[in-house]
Amino acid sequence: MALITYLTKIQFEAGARALLKDELDALGCKAPLIVADKGIVAAGLVAEVLKAGGLSADTPVYDGTPENPTEAAVHEALDLYRAHDCDGIVGLGGGSPLDLAKAVSLMATHDGALADYAVILGGLGRIRKDKPPVVAIPTTAGTGSEVGRAALLTLEDGRKLGFISPYMIPDVAICDPELTVGLPPMLTAATGMDALTHCIETYLSPRYNPPAEAIALDGLHRVARNIREATRNGSDMDARTEMMMGALQGGMTFQKGLGAVHSLSHPLGALKHLRLHHGTLNAVLLPAVLAFNAEGASDAAAAKYVALAGILGAARPADLPATIEALNRDLGMPSNLTEMGVPADVFDGVADNAVLDHSTATNARPIEKADFVAILNAAL
């Protein structure tokens, strides 16, 4: 096995799911709760991981995770955790079950309302390390949540907020690319574009963190080389492995901050009547944000655009938006927000929430509400 320790302990290799019981034992966890969703259960992945990982088939499973995890789901899973006297959590699935698992761990030992711990409401300093351990097992190559310090959750009042702390990083990530083989082409493409966006936005973030930038560029290179093949031929284990590593690297760079793509995809994803996929939103919004950030870019940012163009195969930095649009077409992604069913009458409210989003402070250039509205219209 290739053991990597960066931010947290990572077991990365085909078949790594067999290490689950060993990792839980090392954490002192004897009674874990599995947090998944109904699709993961129906696909047989929960049963497969329990069997391969050496856990009992009777291990309690919460499978009610919605597409965008909610405050209500946190409390439902927490009730199950307490009913079975659990002492740890295994998040299994895409970003939603992994984020939900982090939130259940948080609320298992932290009093008060979930909103008290949102970063934009002063929650960063309130999150303590006395939480039950979390093992994250991704089944998509996209979110990087398995090594991310954040959980994104939609509260009962409709706000989609970030819960961010070093203590939110899972204690162990088990990255087994074999678990992504059955992912349908469109989900492979959408989650892959999520990973690609993470690498680009963290690289462009103005915060100073050269190691994170190097990881972001390497991750981007892996995703850009393999996303088409992984989408076309899901059984290609080389492509699947490279995509999972690229997604992991995107998550490794989160501490550098994201940008305006995520500032917008978070409130758009919170629109309950639309049920928009996060990675697909990122794919559609990325060209317009790249165009906006290129305007009046600093010398440092301009140099980064040159590096991005080289990796993504754009003839010139100015061609990056068109290059991403072409990639979206190749992958069968929607070409605009209209195709996703997003009406223009939500833009004002979305822009208000984007201004407040935690990703806005680390966008490649300063951005205001009017800019967000202009980007949304450009992506319409």
- Over residues 323-355, the pLDDT tens digits come to 999 999 999 999 999 999 999 999 999 999 999
* pTM score of the predicted model: 0.94
Cβ partners under 8 Å of residue 88, min gap 6: 24, 27, 29, 31, 32, 33, 132, 133, 134, 135
| Whether 50 contacts 85, CB under 8 Å | no
Of the candidates 77, 47, 78, 81, which has an alpha carbon nearest to the alpha carbon of residue 63? Answer: 77
Beta strands 8-12 and 88-93 are unpaired
What does the angle CA 367 – CA 369 – CA 375 come to, to the nearest 5 degrees? 75
| Whether 168 contacts 149, CB under 8 Å | yes
| Whether 198 contacts 147, CB under 8 Å | no
What the chain holds in terms of domains, given with CATH numbers, is 2-179 (3.40.50.1970), 184-378 (1.20.1090.10)
DSSP assignment letter at 318: G
Measured between alpha carbons, how far is 139 from 299 in angstroms, rounded to an integer? 39
In this prediction, residue 5 carries a pLDDT of 58
- Over residues 35-53, the pLDDT tens digits come to 999 999 999 999 999 999 9
- Over residues 5-35, the pLDDT tens digits come to 578 999 999 999 999 999 999 999 999 999 9
In this prediction, residue 71 carries a pLDDT of 96
| Whether 227 contacts 238, CB under 8 Å | no
Show the tokens assigned to 263.
Answer: 């500032």
Sign of the torsion formed by the C-alpha atoms of 233, 237, 238 and 243: positive
Work out the pLDDT band at 3, boundaries 50, 70, 90.
Answer: low
